Amino acid sequence: MAKIIVRGTEVTIISIDEKDYISLTDMVRSIQNGLSLIEKWLRNKNTIEFLGIWEEMYNADFNSLEFEGIKNEAGLNRFILSVKQWTEKTNSKGLIAKAGRYGGTYAHKDIAFEFASWVSPQFKLYLLKEFQRLKEEEQKQIGWSAKRELAKINYHIHTDAIKQNLTPIELTPIQTSIVYANEADVLNMALFGKTAKQWRDANPQLKGNIRDYALINELICLSNMENINAIFINESIPQSERLIKLNQIAIQQMRVLQDVENRKLLK
């Protein structure tokens, strides 16, 4: 579930079957007698035709027979239709009447934008703007998570090199963990300029570790450095030399990544 603010109105967005559904109830909450607008919109013949076309395109279980009966009645003075009646009669997937804490009428984003346009073209444009901003933020988060997972995968390559070359079998588990932490800090020092402990001491209010708060470019660089350091370890290069080399690589890669990002922004 997510919330966006559209011209001072908080609008809820939920995910159903990995599709975005926007609360029509929230959209009209600040309007006097706003809730009645939803049923007024639903009684409109053009609305019924639009909903029917959408359902036939995306809903294999849509009850077309019931829909034809509703469409024939739409526009008549006696025609009354609630969201609940529509969903029960047609097995609609585009409109959903949801109960509970975040209850109300929800519509697939295609339909929600159509409703917003009917209520106010200006509101629709602001809704589109805020919805797009939300999607862009979600994509950034997905990208960050993907890079974080990549760093975790390469972490295993790194630790395997440590295990094979730097941890003799006679070491105790505690001594072995110290070796792993020491090598992790080689990367931390090369990229961030501080050890994990130094970061924790400087940020006692934050949970997690220094890598959990890394930027995407930093995670890309870290992932590359784990592979490179694994090669250095296999080649028996002393740690002090590896730190210098890794720091030089980090500076170079971060410069390249920043240049790429700047070119994207210019485009």
- Taking the chain (267 residues) in runs of 10, the rounded mean pLDDT of each run is 89 90 93 86 93 94 94 87 92 88 88 94 92 80 60 69 78 84 92 93 90 84 89 92 94 86 62
Whether the CB-CB separation of 44 and 117 falls below 8 Å is answered with: no
Instruction: Output phi, psi for 98, to 5 deg.
Output: -110, 135
Return the pLDDT at 50.
Answer: 95
Question: How far apart, in whole angstroms, are the C-alpha atoms of residue 203 and residue 200?
Answer: 5
Whether the CB-CB separation of 62 and 55 falls below 8 Å is answered with: yes
Specify which residues 95 forms β-bridges with.
Answer: 107
Return the pLDDT at 245.
Answer: 94
Return the pLDDT at 89.
Answer: 94
The model carries a pTM of: 0.55
Return the pLDDT at 195.
Answer: 93
Return the pLDDT at 143.
Answer: 58
Question: How far apart, in whole angstroms, are the C-alpha atoms of residue 20 and residue 161?
Answer: 44
